[in-house]
Each structure stands twice: as C-alpha cells, then as structure tokens.
Amino acid sequence: NAGVTQTPKFRVLKTGQSMTLLCAQDMNHEYMYWYRQDPGMGLRLIHYSVGEGTTAKGEVPDGYNVSRLKKQNFLLGLESAAPSQTSVYFCASSPRVPDVLHFGNGTRLTVT
C-alpha cells in the first residue's frame, strides 16, 4: 500500500514563481489536510478538505490555494511564491474526524 504520496519531494523556486504540490492517497479517506512545518513553529494547518469538491481554510491559508477535484487527490498551489513560504509541507489524510492522521513523506520547498 502506497498510503499518502506527495510529489515533488524537493523544489527550489524563485520569488514570484508558481507551483503545485500534489498529494495522493489510496486509502479512500474522506479528509485531507495540508500542513507546513517550520523550525520552532510546529505543524500549522494551511487548508483542509472534508470530502471531494470541498476545501476550507486552516490556520495559515494566505498565499495558498487548494483543490480537491477527485477524492484521492488534494492539490496545494502557490501562485506567487515568497521566501516566507520556504518550509516543509506535509499532506495528511484520515478516514473520519477526529482520527489518526496518515502523513506523506513531505515536500521540502525553498523560495529564493
């Protein structure tokens, strides 16, 4: 079982560039989440989805957009990257709430 797969694993962007992070899960989970993790800040929720076609803002949504067109995929977009978005991004899914989160391996993004 692949579980939760994130692509890419690493990326370097220049300020102002755009990119999309892809999260795919094969566990048929309803709920999916995007977190960012920065040194000394812990995991902070960016956006989440409670089912196909739904999205909602988390704690730090500014500068990001998301889409959940298919149940198994949750995309995180950066329209105009800023150095403050340099971080490690984790996608997670769960079958119900509240319940255990299953995390992907993370995407390490650097914005120069």
Contacting residues toward another protein, per CB under 8 A: 31, 33, 35, 40-45, 48, 50, 56, 58, 90, 97-101, 103-106
Q: Which lies closer to another protein via its Cβ, residue 48 or residue 78?
A: 48
Angle of CA points 76, 82, 87, to nearest 5°: 60
User: Is residue 9 a contact partner of residue 73, using CB atoms and an 8 Å limit?
Assistant: no
The rounded distance, in Å, linking the Cα atoms of 63 and 84 is 10
Question: Taking the complex as a whole, how short is the minimal distance between the CB of residue 6 and another protein, in angstroms?
Answer: 9
Question: Taking the complex as a whole, how short is the minimal distance between the CB of residue 80 and another protein, in angstroms?
Answer: 26
Q: Which lies closer to another protein via its Cβ, residue 22 or residue 45?
A: 45
Q: CB 95: neighbour CB atoms within 10 A?
A: 12
Q: Which lies closer to another protein via its Cβ, residue 80 or residue 105?
A: 105
Nearest to 54 by CA among 77, 71, 42: 71
Question: Taking the complex as a whole, how short is the minimal distance between the CB of residue 19 and another protein, in angstroms?
Answer: 20
Q: Which lies closer to another protein via its Cβ, residue 17 or residue 61?
A: 61
Classify 2 as helix, strand or coil.
coil
